[in-house]
Chains A and B, each alone.
Chain A
Amino acid sequence: MENSVLLKLVEELAQKLDGEFEASLGTPVLKIKGARTTEALQAARNFSGTPCEFLHDLTAVDYPDRNEIEVVYHLTSLRGPQMIRIKAVVDRNNPVIDTAVRIWPGADFMERECFDLMGVKFNGHPDLRRILLWDDFEGHPLRKDYVTPSVEERKRLRIMQPGE
């Protein structure tokens, strides 16, 4: 019952932000342009009755054939077990999106991971560095077109000097 409330709220939000709305297995999914992310997240956070104020997960999916990267936000309402999914579409060649750190400080590490593995740049992030891979790693390995170097190449190890 609560979920139907949420479905309606998200559908209204989709109309307001001219995004697409669908219900996937009962979970409302909102697909929007990357530029309107902050608006959508703020609106979802301030839903009346069931505010989705908990950022559950932040990740990204690569679609090379559409030349798009979708940044996916999962938001949960702490008033009950309801979840919504917001997908923000960005250009694959220049994936730039506004940060969610201002809304949820906890988005910090998730955005760093997303940048590390997918190469999505988050505008306004306080410290956008690699988090899992080492600093001089080249490329973003979770992109579909990433080619792993051969064993021989990876055996030639170069250890970073301090201060480098």
Chain B
Amino acid sequence: MEVDNEKQHEADEMVKKNIILAKLDDVLNWGRGWSFWPVSFGLACCAIEMMAAGGPRFDISRFGYEVFRPTPRQADLMIVAGTVTRKMAPAVKKIYDQMAEPKWVISMGSCANSGGPFVDSYAVLPGVDSIIPVDVYIPGCPPRPESLFYGLLQLKQKVQNPAKVRLAKHGK
């Protein structure tokens, strides 16, 4: 009987050390924030910086975001890297629509943010946010890979703390 008690005690200790109780949403968000799967497409020179971020010098896999998917069906993050021309816009929108929920968008560089140096052009969209909702804007022309990582980490904060985002956005 005493032996059993001891075992029970041990088991309780194990439970304390190894089992965490949490809401499923929180756990999922925690996991999502650590492993975004970006859809791999680039539109202009920002894509070169995005590729550099994927290379060994900067190494995006340190953060767990290296799984660039060739199909939007398997991706949950869209990095709009470069100038969105008006002719490209329907394709960008289509890729966004094909991605499965939950999905996020990072607008990388001045062109995707607001049109950048081409804002006065008849053929360039003044900011990708006129066709799809954007979560994080990364300034720069083009942003260095470090900026991209900072943007991704900001997005991680956003995904892992939805309550704080709501607070910052709506003041409640």
Residues on A facing B (Cβ under 8 Å)? 132-134, 141, 146, 148-149, 151, 154-157, 159-160
- The number of residues on chain B lying at the interface, defined by a beta carbon within 8 Å of a beta carbon of chain A, is 16
B131 in the interface, Cβ–Cβ < 8 Å? yes
Contact of A148 among B122, B125, B131 (CB under 8 A): B122
Contact of A157 among B115, B121, B125 (CB under 8 A): B125
CB closest chain-A residue, reference B114: A151
A148 touches B121 (CB 8 A): yes
B25 in the interface, Cβ–Cβ < 8 Å? no
A149 touches B122 (CB 8 A): yes
B89 touches A159 (CB 8 A): yes
A151 neighbours in B (Cβ, 8 Å)? 115, 119, 126
Residues on B facing A (Cβ under 8 Å)? 86-87, 89-90, 93, 115, 119-123, 125-127, 130-131
Asked if A154 meets B126 with Cβ closer than 8 Å, knowing A148-B120, A148-B121, the reply is: yes
CB closest chain-B residue, reference A156: B130
A141 touches B122 (CB 8 A): yes
Q: Pick 23 A–B contacts, CB within 8 A, sort by A.
A: A132-B87, A132-B123, A141-B122, A141-B123, A146-B122, A148-B121, A148-B122, A149-B122, A151-B115, A151-B126, A154-B122, A154-B125, A154-B126, A155-B125, A155-B126, A155-B130, A157-B86, A157-B89, A157-B125, A157-B131, A159-B93, A159-B131, A160-B90
